[in-house]
Amino acid sequence: MTEQELRERLNRMTGEIPAETHRAFLSAACPGKEARIVKRKISAGLVFALVLILVTVAAIAAGIVYDLKWWYGERTAETDPEFMRKMAENLVAEPEQQQTEDSLVDVKVREVSWMPDEGKLVVSIQATAKDPEHFELHSRLALDVDGAYDPDFEPDMYDEECEGHAEHWLWRENTDPEADERFRCGPVPQMMDDSSKRLLLFEGLQLAPLERPELFGYASMDELRTPEGEVLYLFEYSQDWMKQDYDRQMEEYIEEYPNMKEYAESQIAKAREARETLNGEGISCMLSYRVVEYIEGMDDTELYAGGTEGQVTFAIRTGK
């Protein structure tokens, strides 16, 4: 394949390629030779590799949209197309919401999806530093992930294989595609993008209905930090009462345990009310969070329980 044929093929697959970019790829493929004197044919394997590089560069330039589709389709590799369809069908993006006054961070609910057939509710939130020139934001859950932090640790107090440490360590997702490990970690200042900035740690505490805080139960959570410095959280709730066939299941329960009829009927009534509210005006909810400024050597009580708390109120409803 000649240079001209290669360029035409790449143009068809990825769009028009600037001449200087094309020459750069050819130079990389043939070190020490100028693109203008390359006359040898290029293998199909190299063509494919170049196309992958171009596609990757285009994806980076375009940026990743950290929506629920990405979170489940890419990050957790959800392979059930029916689940993905139902999540999209019931999705509400950036519902009407209000954050309490906060001088440090902007927090918003990005997306909500209630899936009655699956009995699941998923909510994604985003936190951003208001003054990124002076503050760097990370998740508090990214601190001391391995549990090896011990303020009284001394190198010779355990056996040689112990990896304990007396200073806090910050964990980061590895952005190097050739890295063997998914995460990298180390002392906090070393893990910051810019250690000259002040470090803020954000933690999503609770997401619950205002009138019935116990309704959603406990959430499975995931969190990440984007290359732009935003902290994202995903809350996933799995509750039987959310399912459309919950009433039938409880009626079967009554048949099997007649002495529990009163309790079961009260649960059915509560579930119906909650589902009707979700399908109508929605359930008013509150997201609670905490932000603390990390300072080397600070008291652990202040680190884990101090800082300032804020709230975001919004309504969860089905997207149908």
Predicted local confidence at residue 217, as pLDDT = 86
pLDDT in tens, the chain (320 residues): 555 554 454 444 444 445 544 444 444 444 443 333 333 344 444 444 443 333 333 334 346 889 999 989 888 777 788 889 999 998 999 999 999 999 999 999 999 998 877 888 999 999 999 999 999 999 999 998 877 777 767 666 555 555 667 788 998 887 766 767 777 888 999 999 999 999 999 999 999 999 888 888 889 999 999 999 999 999 999 888 888 788 888 999 899 998 999 998 998 998 888 888 777 777 899 999 999 999 998 999 999 999 999 999 999 876 55
Predicted local confidence at residue 77, as pLDDT = 76
User: What is the Cα–Cα distance from 51 to 12, expressed in whole angstroms?
Assistant: 11
Most distant CA atoms of the chain, gap in Å:
89
Of 163, 209, 170, which is closest to residue 187 (Cα–Cα)?
Answer: 170
User: What is the Cα–Cα distance from 180 to 188, expressed in whole angstroms?
Assistant: 21
Predicted local confidence at residue 68, as pLDDT = 92
pTM of the prediction?
Answer: 0.73
Of 317, 238, 239, which is closest to residue 285 (Cα–Cα)?
Answer: 317
Predicted local confidence at residue 161, as pLDDT = 53
Contact present, 223 and 234 (Cβ < 8 Å): yes
The torsion of the CA quartet 51, 56, 59, 64, rounded to 10 degrees, works out to 150
Q: 117 burial class (0-12, 13-18, 19+ CB within 10 angstroms)?
A: middle
The neighbouring-strand residues paired with 258 are none
Predicted local confidence at residue 136, as pLDDT = 97
Predicted local confidence at residue 312, as pLDDT = 97
